[in-house]
Amino acid sequence: MLVVGVDIGNSTTEACVAELGTGPAVYLGSALARTTGVKGTTENVHGAERAIRAALTEAGRGMDELATVLVNEATPVISGLAMETITETIITESTMIGHNPDTPGGAGLGVGTCVAFAELPGRVAGEEVVCVIGTGVDFEDAAAGINAATARGVVVTAAVVCADDANLIVNRLGRPVPVVDEVTLIERVPLGMRAAVEVAEPGRTIRTLSNSYGIATVFELDAERTRMIAPVARALVGNRSAVVVRTPAGDVTDRRIPAGSLTLHGERGRRTVGIAEGAEAVMATVRGIAPVIDAHGEPGTHAGGMISQVRDTMSELTASPVDEVRIRDVLAVDTFVPQRMTGGLAGEFALENAVALAAMVRTSQGPMALLAEELRRALGVEVRVGGVEADMAVLGALTTPGTDRPLAVLDLGGGSTDAALAAGQVHSVHLAGAGDLVTKLIDAELGLDDTELAEQLKQHPLAKAESFFQLRMEDGTVRFRDEPLPTECFARVVVLGEHGFLPVPTSHPVEKIRNVRRSAKHRVFVVNAVRALERIAPGGDLRGLGFVVVLGGSALDFEIPDMIAEALAPYGIVCGTGNVRASQGPRNAVATGLVTAHAARPAEAAR
Amino acid sequence: MGRTLSLTERGPATPGRHSDEVVIGISPAFGAFFSKTIVELPHAEVLRELLAGIEEQGMRARVIRYRSGSDLAVIAHTAARYSGSGIGVGVLSRGTTMIHQKQLLKLSNLELFPQAPLLDLETFRKVGRNAARYAKGESPEPVPARNDYMARPRWQAKAALLHIKETEFVTPRAEPVELEVAISLADAG
């Protein structure tokens, strides 16, 4: 008897074909297709049909030979994402230019009164000035003007330039001074005020203006004033160049946006936690009341906005009223987002703190019977709905060589991280946050605004094209090529994708992208893996789990399974990526489980 | 007030050994028979901006004249082959410009600015800057290429004439020569 097991997942639909006889099931072929529509709806029929036909083709069998199609009881959970920044850096009265032009000129610290370039001839000998060079001044003229002033005895200690001219000017000065360039809004630099300009040697960072007491020394500030400029110093840490202008009321504030609070209802009570307290506090609260029954955000705040955003998307997807959507799990992740500083003079960016929320929503039981009926009509074959997804996943995972009960399954998907433990009966949990959240974090933290690119960066390792024939891999090894790289890859960071090399159109170095990628995966998958296993482990102790089999699309990732294995190493568990039927890797577990369960059934009935 | 360009030949050009240099290759009549681009930008200013863009990045520049042809790809590629960093910039008298790399095929390029009438001095500065940044092993954003679909019909005839004229100055089989560049302010009046 020929049967097909079909697993409809959030993003992929998997199928496997098997021949059932007197002995164990003989697997003939497997296939996967993209899930059409929202999981658990009748729109899934097209994807399911495609996967079934592909599996049959691989097996070399026809649709007319097929006896039964087995479909899993799709877990009625879907997930949503939201992200909000919770801090904001505001510069008032143009106190600071903290941007990092690529090529500042000179080196050292210069302090003086801000004087426009045109006013330079009017200054008297002995005066200490910082020359402010606006638009339209040629670099040769600028250098000649400064040299002339210096010859008259005016002490030009530094310069601030609008154009990208710093080195061109410094190279033409009799006595080089620090010069900061590319200050786009130079007309807003307050003239007549005292300013300090600092440029560090290449490869170093500024030392004086990034230190509160350094600024206090330069401007002779008292304790009270020093307290006020402390945020300026903090904002300049790590820069190669900076300008600080002392204005009477100038200030930089590092404001925490009132982010609001999250109220979590759980089986063990109800608690409220402020989003601004950070992800750790939110997650501690979730752990305290878990499992979550519902969550609400404070209306009119970011927290409220995020939760209602998730609710709206979910109600739209499931076509159910907004107030019937129940949030069953929340994962909060700390992140940072590059944002343009309000009030900056040179388009300065600051990394603002942000919180990303993933929420898991339980939908009303999907119309599985309807789906089965549609599928039967499309294929003309008997369709059986049966088997809870988690049970089937465990059965499928057990076909991995070297596993035994008690066996825990960790299913890393796109929208959710699921875990199930088979010890007697199967116990399972579904947690919010998985691959999609990682993509979102990478997108936001690198300031890409390109989900496709973020997805590529998540899935593949990086390299730097050092020449047309030489690639330096992210681990430092070099790979030589016989064929030249495409021109658009030259000198760029490239993603080693399946379809060749994809240039990354940002100026982030390889190390930065790699760090963001790995940390995003860590914050989502490692955190969720431990959280999920704690929830299903007997007594919450991970040591009670014997074997952990990692399944799902994200288990195919080149580093996530290793990161999880590393995190679980201290508990003495056997943890690894599944290899369903010793051939399918972490894929096809549920489909295989469906067939296994079906094959066992007649035997039980015969007894 | 304008600047004058004086180019002095200093013998046959030789391949550079410094990895911090970018070579600018100019066409047979650049700064010689011709002194302006197709839109009357003085060659003195064009070369000055290219050199300034390279200098601002802390790199050195060398200028050579390509004499045996007027094909931009060949000029730019030759500049790249003579460049210690492997990065070269080619410029035609009418203003068309290209950034090249020595390992690339001649007909390929890193960045091409095909519409000479749309190139202003700011763009030439950016071309110099990007060439220097490639030479440093950085990954610059390509200079935004402007495009005007009317430029072709409007300027094509003049461009063709300029190209024919430039080609008249080609000396077959002549080797590229090293140039010493002096750009000075012309006396007013």
- Asked if the Cβ–Cβ distance from B55 to A171 is below 8 Å, we say yes
CATH at residue A382: 3.30.420.40
Among all residues of chain A, which has the CA nearest to that of B85? A467
Could you tell me if residue A550 is inside a domain? no
In a mutational test of the A interface, the residue from B49, B54, B56 whose CB has the highest number of chain A CBs within 10 Å is B56
Residues of B in contact with A467 (CB under 8 A): 86, 103
My answer on whether A263 and A195 are in the same domain is no
Residues of B in contact with A165 (CB under 8 A): 52, 56
Among all residues of chain A, which has the CA nearest to that of B112? A487
CA distance B75 to B77: 6
Amino acid present at A491: A
Residue ranges in A319-434 assigned as alpha helix (H): 368-379, 389-397
Amino acid present at A332: A
Residue of B56, B86, B139 lying closest to A167 (CB–CB): B56
CA distance A6 to A35: 11
CA distance A563 to A412: 13
| Cis geometry, peptide bond prior to residue A406 (ω within 30 degrees of 0) | yes
- Asked if the Cβ–Cβ distance from B101 to A468 is below 8 Å, we say yes
My answer on whether A270 and A325 are in the same domain is yes
Smallest CA–CA distance, residue B48 to chain A, in Å, is 11
- Asked if the Cβ–Cβ distance from A487 to B125 is below 8 Å, we say no
Residue A251 has a pLDDT of: 58
Q: What is the ipTM of this complex?
A: 0.90
Residue A347 has a pLDDT of: 72
My answer on whether A339 and A268 are in the same domain is yes
Nearest residue to A48 via CA among A36, A62, A40, A63:
A36
**Count of CB pairs separated by less than 8 Å, A with B:** 49
Could you tell me if residue B126 is inside a domain? yes
My answer on whether A288 and A346 are in the same domain is yes
- Asked if the Cβ–Cβ distance from A468 to B103 is below 8 Å, we say yes
My answer on whether A57 and A178 are in the same domain is no
My answer on whether A291 and A201 are in the same domain is no
DSSP 8-state symbol, A284: H
| Residue A95 clears pLDDT 70, i.e. is over it | no
In this structure, are residues A14 and A32 in contact, taking their beta carbons and an 8 Å threshold? yes
CA distance B27 to B32: 10
Residue B168 has a pLDDT of: 96
The residue that leads in pLDDT, A303 or B58, is B58
In this structure, are residues A196 and A120 in contact, taking their beta carbons and an 8 Å threshold? no
Residues of A in contact with B58 (CB under 8 A): 103, 167
Nearest residue to B50 via CA among B135, B133, B123, B141:
B123
Q: Which residues contact A237 (CB under 8 A, 6 or more apart)?
A: A205, A210
Could you tell me if residue A569 is inside a domain? no
Residues of B in contact with A481 (CB under 8 A): none
Total number of domains constituting chain B: 1
My answer on whether A99 and A240 are in the same domain is yes
- C-beta neighbour count of A61 within 10 angstroms: 17
- Asked if the Cβ–Cβ distance from A484 to B105 is below 8 Å, we say yes
Is B121 within 8 Å of chain A by CB? no
A305 is in which domain, residue-wise? 80-88+257-362
| Residue A178 clears pLDDT 80, i.e. is over it | yes
In this structure, are residues A255 and A247 in contact, taking their beta carbons and an 8 Å threshold? no
What do you get for the CA distance between the two ends of chain B, in Å? 8
Residue A605 has a pLDDT of: 44
Domain boundary residue among A250, A277, A296?
A250
DSSP 8-state symbol, A9: -
Residue A599 has a pLDDT of: 86
My answer on whether A84 and A175 are in the same domain is no
Is B108 within 8 Å of chain A by CB? yes
Give how far Cα A420 sits from Cα of A486, A525, A592, B26, Å: 46, 16, 16, 70
B166 is in which domain, residue-wise? 3-139+150-181
Phi-psi bin for A182: left (phi > 0), alpha (psi -120 to 50), beta?
Answer: left
Is B104 within 8 Å of chain A by CB? yes
Is B129 within 8 Å of chain A by CB? yes
In this structure, are residues B3 and B45 in contact, taking their beta carbons and an 8 Å threshold? yes
C-alpha count within 13 angstroms, C-beta hemisphere, residue A34: 2
- Asked if the Cβ–Cβ distance from B58 to A103 is below 8 Å, we say yes
Total number of domains constituting chain A: 3
DSSP 8-state symbol, A365: P
C-alpha count within 13 angstroms, C-beta hemisphere, residue A53: 11
Domain boundary residue among A206, A231, A250?
A250
At A545, give phi and psi (nearest 5°).
-90, 135
CATH at residue A159: 3.50.30.70
My answer on whether A238 and A114 are in the same domain is yes
CA distance A356 to A302: 11
Domain boundary residue among A250, A275, A305?
A250
Could you tell me if residue B76 is inside a domain? yes
Smallest CA–CA distance, residue B129 to chain A, in Å, is 10
Q: What is the pLDDT of residues A312-339, one digit of tens each?
A: 877 777 677 877 788 888 899 998 888 7
My answer on whether A337 and A299 are in the same domain is yes
Q: What is the pLDDT of residues A422-467, one digit of tens each?
A: 877 778 888 888 888 999 999 999 988 899 999 999 999 999 988 8
Q: The tokens of A216 are what?
A: 């206090």
Could you tell me if residue A606 is inside a domain? yes
CA distance A540 to A439: 30
Phi-psi bin for A446: left (phi > 0), alpha (psi -120 to 50), beta?
Answer: alpha
CATH at residue B118: 3.40.50.10150
| Residue B73 clears pLDDT 70, i.e. is over it | yes
Could you tell me if residue B187 is inside a domain? no
Amino acid present at A354: A
- Buried/exposed B54-67: b ≥16 CB within 10 Å, e otherwise: bbbbebbbbbbbbb
Smallest CA–CA distance, residue B101 to chain A, in Å, is 9
| Cis geometry, peptide bond prior to residue A231 (ω within 30 degrees of 0) | no
